[in-house]
Structure 1
Amino acid sequence: MTHFVLVAGAWLGAWAWDEVAAELRAAGHEVHPLSLSGLAEKQGEPAGQQTHVQDIVDEVERLDLREVVLVGHSYAGVPVGQAAERIGERLGRVVLVDAHVPVDGESFLSGWPSDAVREAIAAHNGFWPCPEPAEFAGQGLTDDQVAKFVTGATSHPGATLTEPAVLSRPFGELPGTYVTCLLDGEEPWGAAAELLKSERWNLVNLDTGHWPMFSRPRELAAILEASAG
């Protein structure tokens, strides 16, 4: 049995993992999907980048988890990666699902053309609004899956995207798996490409779009289970 802590990307909460969590639990694992501050049922709570890191650390410590697999999707790779370092010997493995990789001193918005995101945050009182349904085209999602996403989504606290990550050592020293969703780009780029040069990390490809917890939950659960080894 493995303990999984699952953290979804921007706009999403614990609810996004319902199908993946059901698959993992059916296989006998303990699964703890987590909503970060300011999102889903925690909407309205103030949040910065370090708030989200602490949310994850607190959950692991509250549950007294050991050999925990921390899973971060998309944006959540940044706080999950920092939390993985801070929980020390409690960590079993990190799994990043089509995720941004934390880099000390850099934010989620660093290293890619993010002016439009910054403008959207400024225009929406400090929050990044959920994409319109048309923006999900080409990501392997059905109309029903897009509707589920948009209906459940929460505008994302902008400070969590612009504040820098804080790491005390190279992230590649931790053991991990990186999952690339091929419809979103066939090759990891930037910090993810650098991370995969580490002997402690391996790459897994998944033939779907950026939100596999909706489009391919069974396949994603199998990858997570295999990563725990």
Structure 2
Amino acid sequence: MTAFVLVSGPFTGGWVWGEVAERLRAAGAEVVPVGLTGMVDGPPGGPETDLETHVANVVRAVDGCAADEVVVVGHDYGIHPALGAADRRPGRVARVVYLDAGMPGDGDAALALVPEGAVAERDGFVAPPSGEEWRRWGSLDGVPAEALARLDRLAVPQPARTLTQPLRLTRSPFERPTTGVLCTANGNGIAMVEMLVATGPPAFRVLAGPRVGFLELATGHWPMLSAPGELAGALLRAAADEGHRVAAPEQASPAHAGSFLLDVAERPRVREGRVDLHLPEAEGPRPAVLFVHGGPVSPGTRPTPRDSPTLLGYARYVASLGAVGATLDHRLHDLGDYPRAAEDLAGAVELVRADPRVDGERIALWFLSAGGLLSADWLAAPPPWLRAVALSYPVLAPPPAWRAVHPRFRPAEAVSAASPPVVLTRAGLEHEVFATTVEAFVGAAEEAGAALDLVDVPLARHAFETLDHTAETRAAVARATRAVLGHLEG
């Protein structure tokens, strides 16, 4: 027999698992919905209640199980105490299930995954949302009106220290069997995981481990309310070690390995701080294109983005055509780092414009991948010297699961008729969750009357410059570059 220890997300309690628990018990499982201290069905708690308190709650639930095999399920915030308990009872917890949850490690606080502006602490507690405000914590897709009303009625303030105290682990959570149950209407899915493993920071490579599996649910962030039967089935499959295994990539990151699709000669390069300038042969101040990489990129990644084949290739290509090709290493190391990366970008722009080899009145910014979110500031309030914004296979609105991204970074909401001309390169084989944001941006740009030049590459993938060396992709890069440089003329 299997025991399921169910750990709920913020502001809720064991009650939220009611229908799921019934179905699991009907299948012969032992089920323990945990009542966390300070929550509606847990022991009373005050401002002193912290994450360690909730870890102790889950440890007691694990210790009380009669079954030989214990599966701990953590939803949203609940993954933090779930992992803490599994770390303290390695011999009892056979598997951890991440239910539409983040990937915290040792030293991470839950607050890092909380949506910007969603937390207002008062007297040591964080007030729960209500009604449509729940959307800031995840998609409400499929949640019946009655269930949402019950969520409102039973939600209670969360002790703030449960969100701010760092999680403490003595080993990697992925040393034990692990299952991710992904809610696709919330922007999570197996395709997203595969993309992160293939192109994201090295930390995501653990998701390709042999003991890690994934299951999908076609619903929003609250499957215990929107699809309890399907969720119960997924948990039973997880306990049986079913689920999709993600293959390890042949290379760590296409953007940081391989070769650029065009054969371009090296140009003289000047390095100042985080910025490199690749210089053309032409004399006198020249227009410049500053390339902005995506991410998040781990601080220890080598080569750094500006030394990657993609950015080197673009910068040298632009320089061969008579403009200064500038590249930047910004500090987008985590989804919460967009404000810091924006500061780095603003500083890089000032440095580039001030260089005597650059015509500071003729600048273009070229954003790639998730760096596209950084374009929002420049689209919303463009300075007169910004002649064009280029976007290649960009992310133009945070997917629902990217809750840590500051709400300021939403290009699809920032674009207007006053925005500079936009050159947008769309990869036909783009990840669906990213392609959706691009289509929303195109619709918003067209409705606003923004100047938009679309470069479509039907058979290209995300980061195609080092993945797809074809006549089609080469032509697309050449066309996009000519369009950008055309806006810099005169």
Q: TM-score, normalised by structure 2?
A: 0.44
Give yes or no for contact 1:12–1:35 (8 Å, CA) kept in 2. no
Q: How many angstroms does 1:32 deviate by?
A: 0.8
Amino acid at match of 1:28: G
SS in 1 for 2:4: strand
- Give the distance between the partners of 2:53 and 2:40, measured in 1 at CA: 15
Which residues in structure 2 correspond to 1:66-215 (within 5 Å)? 66-110=68-112, 112=113, 114-118=115-119, 120-121=120-121, 124-136=122-134, 138-140=139-141, 141-186=143-188, 187=192, 193-215=204-226
Q: How far apart, in 2, do the equivalents of 1:43 and 1:34 lie?
A: 11
Q: 1:58 maps to what in 2?
A: 60
- The Cα of 1:154 is off from its aligned counterpart by 1.1
Q: Deviations over 1:122-160 (max 9, x none)?
A: xx2222222120124552212111001111111111100
**What amino acid does structure 2 have at the position aligned with 1:19?**
E
| Counterpart Cα distance in 2 of 1:211 and 1:24 | 17
1:129 to 1:206, Cα distance in 2 relative to 1, 3 A: same
Higher alpha-carbon deviation: 180-189 or 21-30: 180-189
Q: What's the offset of the Cα at 1:193?
A: 4.4
Give yes or no for the alignment of 1:217 onto 2:228.
yes
Conserved 8 A contact 2:3-2:65: no
**Structure 1 moving runs of 4+ over 4 Å:** 112-115, 188-195
Structure 2: 5+ residue runs without aligned partners? 241-490
Cα distance in 1, alignment partners of residues 144 and 211 from structure 2: 36
Contact preservation (8 Å) 2:97, 2:180: yes
Amino acid at match of 1:162: T
Match of 2:374 in 1: none
77-86 or 15-24, which deviates more: 77-86
Q: Contact 2:35 / 2:43 at 8 angstroms: preserved in 1? A: no
Separation in structure 1 between the aligned mates of residue 43 and residue 29 of structure 2, nearest angstrom: 29
- 8 A contact 1:66–1:91 mirrored in 2: no
Name 2:15's counterpart in structure 1.
15
Note if contact 1:53-1:79 (Cα within 8 Å) is conserved in structure 2: yes
**1 CA distance for matches of 2:35 and 2:237?**
24
1:109 aligned counterpart, secondary structure: helix
CA contact (8 A) 1:174 1:200 kept: yes
CA contact (8 A) 2:74 2:101 kept: yes
Structure 2 letter corresponding to 1:11: F
Residue number in structure 1 paired with 2:273: none
Q: Is the 8 A contact 2:96 2:179 kept in 1?
A: yes
Q: Secondary structure at the match of 1:37?
A: coil
Q: Deviations over 1:144-181 (max 9, x none)?
A: 11001111111111100011011111111121101111
**Offset at 1:65?**
4.8
Which whole-Å CA distance do the structure 2 matches of 1:66 and 1:82 have between them?
20
8 Å CA contact 1:8, 1:14 repeated in 2 = yes
Alpha-carbon distance between aligned partners in 1 of 2:163 and 2:185, rounded to the nearest angstrom: 24
Offset, 1:198 = 2.5
Q: Structure 2: which amino acid aligns with 1:155? A: P
Q: Is the radius of gyration larger for structure 1 or structure 2?
A: 2
- Whether contact under 8 Å (2:2, 2:67) holds in the other structure is no
For 1:99, give the aligned amino acid.
A
Local SS of the residue matching 2:152: helix
What displacement does 1:52 show?
0.8
Question: Which is further off, 167-176 or 64-73?
Answer: 64-73
Unaligned ranges ≥5, structure 1: none
CA apart distance, 1:102 = 2.6
Is 93-102 or 161-170 further displaced after alignment? 93-102
Task: Report the residue type matching 1:197 in the other structure.
Answer: A
- Deviations 1:35-85 (CA, angstroms, capped at 9, x unpaired): 111101336414101111111111211345531010110001011012112
What residue identity is the alignment partner of 2:57? D
Q: Percent identity?
A: 39
Please give the alpha-carbon distance, in whole angstroms, between the structure 1 residues aligned to 2:27 and 2:167: 34
**Cα-to-partner distance string for 1:3-28 (whole Å, 9 max, x where unaligned):** 11111100111110000000011111
Highest RCO, 1 vs 2 (Cα 8 Å, sep ≥ 6): 1
Q: What TM-score do you get using the length of structure 1 for normalisation?
A: 0.90
